[in-house]
Structure 1
Amino acid sequence: MLEKYIDELYEKNDLDDEKLLYILENIDDKSREYLVDKSHKTRMKTYGNKVFMRGLIEFTNYCKKNCEYCGIQNKNRKADRYRLTYEQIMECAEIGDRLGYKTYVLQGGEDPYFNDERMIEIIKGIKKRFPNNAITLSLGERSYDSYKKMFDAGADRYLLRHETASKELYEWLHPGEVFGDRIKCLYNLKEIGYQFGAGFMVGLPCQTNEDLVKDLRFVKEIEPHMCGIGPFIPQKETSLGEYSSGTLEDTITMLALVRLLLPNVLLPATTALGSIDKVGREKGIKAGGNVVMPNLSPTNVREKYALYDGKICTGDEAAECRKCIERRINNAGFEIAVTRGDNVKWSQENPHVPQYDDKIVDINGILGF
């Protein structure tokens, strides 16, 4: 019965909630292998064996919110706060371009210092220097007007993980926040015209399989261009610091199911996956993932962006991260694409946007090998 439901999902790219729940409640190692194989085939049909790299710039760890799972929550007085300057952000972008990244991900807490005026200056500065490179923002909840101003300034994408599609679980994890506000933000991003991303955590405290089915149904209905999925990993200074992490197996299952539900989605194999398993990112890619995000942030601030404990690659220089992740991807049987890496459906709808760059990236030369 399990493989029959997986086959139906593979063929139709949809499945009713009862059958999705049956898969989650009955999957074992053998059936997970079968699911991953179907997910891989779907990914190969839409994206081939290409993996897109994004240069991650974690530019502020200040945050006004108090999400219970997050190490940079406002009430964490032990967090060592920092903000990158405009010049530092531009230097990160310059390094990223030399390393062949055609997308930058500007990620930070919900920091009021980086208001619309400052963000527009940063976006326009990057676009002036690197007009063919894409900018993804991940700055949390903002107003419709704020999102629109940044889009008009040149931002291409926006990632706003919904974290969980269960209202009760969401509002427990986000004290004082309203679940509907988060969902409204996602629909605003979609209406404005961003390539937008949703996403959720796997293995959250009190999360049930029914909650995970809600996540699957939500992303199927909203159809994000990107979907960020990673395991919950506790951070010692939060109220959830004593809980267990989500598992690699459960996260791989959810990645594979999302790939089958949304064949065109951009699906990261996250750093969090690599943090709970030394080959977690490779396993994520084999399960349908096609995006990785090596870090471009200055090494002296990476440990400070402590969303969770045990984060990998905090001490590696940008070029070392680039070389390491490419080697890992190649060893797993995949290839790096030197491209913006837009959602394939979006690319078909916007054929005027250039994808590939003819510059050869001599990573060995950069590293001095």
Structure 2
Amino acid sequence: MPLPLISERPLPGAPADVTGARRQLIDRLSADGRLPLGDWETLLSSPSQEDRAYARDRAAEVARSQFGNRVFVRGLIEFSSHCRQDCLYCGIRKSNRDAERYRLSPDEILACCAEGYRLGYRTFVLQSGEDARYTTEVVTDIVRRIRAAYPDCAITLSIGERSRAAYQQFFDAGANRFLLRHETADSEHYDRLHPAGRTLESRLACLSDLKEIGFQTGAGFMVGSPFQTVNHLAKDLVLLSELRPHMVGIGPFLPHHRTPFADQPAGSVDLTLFILSLVRLMLPTVLLPSTTALGTARAGARESGIQAGANVVMLNLSPPEQRPKYLLYDNKPVSGEVVEMTEAVRRSLGRIGYEMVVDRGDHPEAAR
């Protein structure tokens, strides 16, 4: 039998009539998959522990109805810590002169894939800062080499904003998925998190291009980022309901000591778990990671994320000596042999009644 959810500090309580209204909204979300902005704001305003438990239990039922007790594992390869962008929340922003920078060669990336494949990984996630050294041609060549070596595997890219022509070239070379978190659906809030010249309009245009090309496309946002309001979170969820992405990445904001937001508080784990459940109810077949940031924010939270409706975990296949240099936020876990980490996660999922499977774990639409 699954273990009970790891104990959590209750959020402030709510009057019974408000709690009842939230449960009605949760039921409507489960039935319709959409809510208007005002209802999202009501749902997200100081949910009680009972509200969160109700959403969690409903979301767990939906996830099991779609995927059984299966959890898909992804092999993450962080291949460059160089970045031309200067996002105010990110530890590898170009203004961080203390950041240690590295790049993996194509051969080193293929070596990471080889180790992952031997251990049962069937999805490789290539992630980096926006590094101009990895041109469209270089990335295309890497994708082609992985596709030729591992034709039964999925290839996911998470390399930021590129031209539509570049995205098309990656897709034609054999990439299947692309992760591009929108970070916030409010343009003013977006401007407060990013340097001048970066716009929400550009980010959303990239997401539209990716979907039209045929990628399994992932969006997402941070919970508790600086200046974030309930209205911002509500807009994020409205955007997801309209975009209908195949993947959604959500984790708590975690500060990095060498960014302008170093002194900002971390995002709420409890609220992040609640939102994961709401996303599962809104998008029943979505591929929903229980993120590294969630597990970093609180011990056992990665397992809580699975119990809240998530069905994906990512484990780091990058060379151990390079992992400490890809530090997006403070206290990110960087140590451990891949085989040991894999078995540890397999055991921890088994203790709560889930199975880590050897599978590409495609979105059901793509699988059909």
The residue aligned with 2:203 is 182
The equivalent residue for 1:91 is: 111
Q: Which residue pairs with 2:348 in the alignment?
A: 328
Q: Which residue of 2 aligns with 1:364?
A: none
The aligned counterpart of 1:277 is 298
SS at match of 2:219: strand
Q: Which residue of 2 aligns with 1:365?
A: none
The 3-state SS of whatever aligns with 1:79 is coil
Q: How far apart are the structure 1 equivalents of 2:337 and 2:108?
A: 15
Matched residue, 2:122? 102
Aligned-partner Cα distance in 2 for 1:113–1:336: 35
Q: Secondary structure at the match of 2:321?
A: helix
Alpha-carbon separation, structure 1, partners of 2:257 and 2:72:
32
Question: Match of 1:41, as an amino acid?
Answer: E
Match status 1:310 vs 2:321: no
Shift of 1:288: 0.6
Matches within 5 A, 1:166-315: 166-176=186-196, 177-312=198-333, 314-315=334-335
1:17: Cα distance to partner?
2.0
Look up the match of 2:3: none
Counterpart amino acid of 1:278? Answer: A
Q: RMSD across aligned C-alpha pairs, in angstroms?
A: 0.8
1:293 counterpart SS class: strand
Which residues of 2 match residues 125-140 of structure 1 at below 5 A?
A: 125-140=145-160
Contact 2:34 2:238 in 1 (8 A): no
Tell me how far 1:21 sits from its aligned partner.
Answer: 1.2
Partners in 2 of 1:4 and 1:182 — Cα distance?
34
1:44 aligns with 2:61: no
Shift of 1:229: 0.3
Residue 206 of structure 1 aligns with an amino acid whose one-letter code is F
User: How far off its partner does 1:19 sit?
Assistant: 1.8
What do residues 3-60 of structure 1 show as CA deviations (whole Å, max 9, x unaligned)?
Answer: 1221222222222222221111141111110110111111111111110000000000
Rounded to whole Å, the distance in 2 between the matches of 1:334 and 1:275 is 21
Offset, 1:102: 0.4
Q: Give me the TM-score of the superposition, normalised by structure 2.
A: 0.93
Alpha-carbon shift at residue 149 of structure 1 (Å) = 0.5
CA contact (8 A) 1:2 1:26 kept: no
Q: How many residues align?
A: 347
SS of 1:341's equivalent in the other structure is coil
Letter aligned with residue 202 of structure 1: V
One-letter identity of the residue aligned with 1:4: Q
Structure 2 unmatched runs, 5+: 1-20
Matched residue, 1:359: none
What residue ranges of structure 1 are gaps of 5+ in the alignment? 349-369
| Deviation of 1:128 (Å) | 1.1
1:224, 1:3 → 2: CA distance? 25
* Structure 2 SS opposite 1:196: strand
1:58-73 superposed matches below 5 A:
58-73=78-93
- Give 4+ residue runs of structure 1 displaced > 3 Å after superposition: none
Q: By how many angstroms is 1:317 displaced?
A: 1.1
**Secondary structure of the residue that 1:300 maps to in structure 2?**
coil
Separation of aligned partners in 1, 2:42 and 2:199? 30
TM-score (norm 1): 0.93
Partner letter of residue 255 of structure 1? Answer: L
